[in-house]
Amino acid sequence: MKLLAKTNRIYLAFSLAIYLFAGLAFYQVVRILIYNEVETRLKVEKRDFEAYLKQHKAWSDTTYFVENKIDVVPVGRQTRLSETFIDTLIQNRYDQELMPFRQLTFYVPIKGVMHRVSIRKSLIQSYQLIEVITVTMAACLGLLLLGTFWFQGKLSGRLWLPFYESLSRIKRFNLASATPLQLDKPEINEFRELNEVLRKMGDKMQQDYRSLKEFTENASHEIQTPLALINAKVEQLIQSEKLTETQTRWIEEIYQASRRMARLNQGLLLLAKIDNQQFTDNQAVDLAALLAEKLGAMDEVLHHKRIAVKIGNLVPFAIQLPPALADSLVTNLVNNAIKHNHAEGRVELRSDGKNLSLGNTGHALVSNPERLFERFKKEGSGPDSVGLGLAIIKEICDTYGLEVQYDENNGWHRFGISRKVNEE
């Protein structure tokens, strides 16, 4: 839920509660005031009545011509002497309508007989008054409510604007890019501080990210030189004629290990460079033709392993790719197809312009196909494999808008490359 929607909702609920409470309280207050007024007048009339009785010693209805104003009834016994106020409804003389009245009942002896006297006052006008007041009030309060609601929305929207602006910029912020996180300096202190902190964090993150990448690259570079030294020394060592067979075997192992490390290192370095987007010289290359060419160049190995190559319908598969990476991509694909093939196996290359696929026969996969493209995932543990080939393929594809898929079917392992469907 959005912050503004949330505050609006709370605000609305709260205002409605206040509004209802205020409305009821107001209604009650007005009612009490009107009753007080009516009752005071009724008491005044009672005094008038008593004064009249004192003067005339008798009561005649004619004095009061207004209907239902007064009711004097003799009561036999003296029941209650207290005076009471009650609400009552009395039928209108003309249209049989029930009208609300306030009635004061008291007892008075007239000529020695106890009478119950009821004086009434119509409440119809008072009720109308209450209605009018209530409606007006409701309207005013409603308008006020709507007004503040609208104002509040506008104000919050404006107040929170720098926040949303910062948020959208952070969303667009790319850690790997060279551009730092750019945030405004809003006049509200809290937001300014927030932006300040965010900018510092962004800068720090970028710096760390960069140094981490540089570290990978520098470390790889630095490793190459000692490796070259090991290689050189081993090469010199094997020239010695006094070596025993065991010693030679040890040296051989040292040598193999250093070669492997060199390959590993080169692979990691390549991955780091692709990650860092250090290859920028994109050119149009036809991957299908490159693959066919590479298969041709590997003719000797293919022949040696007695692998038959079948190149199917080859529609050009043109993409934008730096030539060095295109070469790395096809080399790794072809190497993979040869390495994981069995003797007298087959390799098949196909392209329909949209999908490029290189398939090879081979033993069933031992590891999880989902994790095949991860770094250092190896099928088997051949000493000559460093487990970066497929990771490099994936990295290149991911970086240059391609999609690589693997599927296994009937002893065929197929790597398919297609253009990524633009997600936007």
Partner 1 sequence: MKVLVVEDEKGLAESITDYMNKEGYLCETAGTFREADERIYLYQYDCVIVDLTLPDGDGFQLIQTLKKLLATTGVIIISARNALEDKIRGLEIGSDDYLTKPFHLSELNARVKSLIRRRNFGGHTEIRFREIRVNPSSRKVYVNGQLAVLSRKEYDLLLYFLSNIDVVLTKVSIAEHLWGDNIDSADSLDMVYSHIKNLRRKLLEKGGSDYVSSVYGIGYKFGEP
Using the rule CB under 8 A, is 190 a contact of partner 1?
A: no
Name which of 205 and 297 has its Cβ closer to partner 1.
297
**Cα Rg of the chain (Å, integer):** 49
Piece in contact with partner 1 (CB under 8 A), picked from 11-19, 226-234, 309-317, 348-356? 226-234
Residue located via tokens 């790319």: 174
Using the rule CB under 8 A, is 233 a contact of partner 1?
A: yes
Alpha helices in 276-353 (DSSP H): 287-297, 299-304, 323-339
Residues in the chain: 424
CB of 400 to partner 1, least distance (A): 16
Nearest one of 253, 268, 265 to 228, comparing CA atoms: 265
Residue 303 to residue 296: CA distance in whole angstroms:
11
| Paired residues of 113 in beta bridges | 110
CB of 380 to partner 1, least distance (A): 11
Using the rule CB under 8 A, is 343 a contact of partner 1?
A: no
CB of 378 to partner 1, least distance (A): 13
Residue 112 to residue 58: CA distance in whole angstroms:
10
Nearest one of 346, 348, 289 to 314, comparing CA atoms: 289
- How many residues lie near partner 1 (CB under 8 A)? 41
CB of 375 to partner 1, least distance (A): 19
Using the rule CB under 8 A, is 196 a contact of partner 1?
A: no
- What does residue 412 show for φ and ψ, rounded to 5 degrees? -100, 135
* Pairing relationship of beta strands 113-122 and 346-352 according to DSSP bridges: unpaired
Using the rule CB under 8 A, is 259 a contact of partner 1?
A: yes
Piece in contact with partner 1 (CB under 8 A), picked from 73-81, 146-154, 259-267, 282-290? 259-267
Using the rule CB under 8 A, is 231 a contact of partner 1?
A: yes
Distances 241 to 11, 100, 220, 234 between C-alpha atoms, Å:
93, 131, 34, 13
The mark string for 378-397 relative to partner 1 (x by CB under 8 A, - otherwise) is ----x-x-------------
Residue 215 to residue 201: CA distance in whole angstroms:
20
Piece in contact with partner 1 (CB under 8 A), picked from 53-61, 147-155, 246-254, 367-375? 246-254
Nearest one of 399, 386, 400 to 268, comparing CA atoms: 386
Using the rule CB under 8 A, is 225 a contact of partner 1?
A: yes
Residue 394 to residue 387: CA distance in whole angstroms:
13
CB of 270 to partner 1, least distance (A): 8
* Pairing relationship of beta strands 355-361 and 412-419 according to DSSP bridges: antiparallel
Among 245, 370, 423, 424, binds partner 1 (CB under 8 A): 245
Name which of 384 and 423 has its Cβ closer to partner 1.
384
* Pairing relationship of beta strands 346-352 and 308-315 according to DSSP bridges: parallel
Name which of 123 and 292 has its Cβ closer to partner 1.
292
Nearest one of 423, 422, 421, 417 to 318, comparing CA atoms: 417
Among 177, 248, 277, 283, binds partner 1 (CB under 8 A): 248
CB of 387 to partner 1, least distance (A): 13
Amino acid at 140: C
Piece in contact with partner 1 (CB under 8 A), picked from 27-35, 55-63, 298-306, 401-409? 298-306
Alpha helices in 57-188 (DSSP H): 124-172
Task: Report helix, strand or coil for 300.
Answer: helix
Using the rule CB under 8 A, is 262 a contact of partner 1?
A: yes
| Paired residues of 377 in beta bridges | none
The mark string for 316-335 relative to partner 1 (x by CB under 8 A, - otherwise) is -------xx------x---x
Name which of 226 and 353 has its Cβ closer to partner 1.
226
Using the rule CB under 8 A, is 365 a contact of partner 1?
A: no
Name which of 133 and 243 has its Cβ closer to partner 1.
243
Using the rule CB under 8 A, is 221 a contact of partner 1?
A: yes
Residue 51 to residue 49: CA distance in whole angstroms:
5
What tokens were used for 166?
Answer: 């910062």
The mark string for 86-115 relative to partner 1 (x by CB under 8 A, - otherwise) is ------------------------------
Name which of 69 and 305 has its Cβ closer to partner 1.
305
Name which of 327 and 408 has its Cβ closer to partner 1.
327
What tokens were used for 290?
Answer: 């490159």
Question: Which residues contact partner 1 by CB under 8 A?
Answer: 221-222, 224-233, 235-236, 238-239, 243, 245, 248-249, 251-252, 255-256, 258-259, 262, 266, 269, 300-301, 304-305, 323-324, 331, 335, 338-339, 382, 384
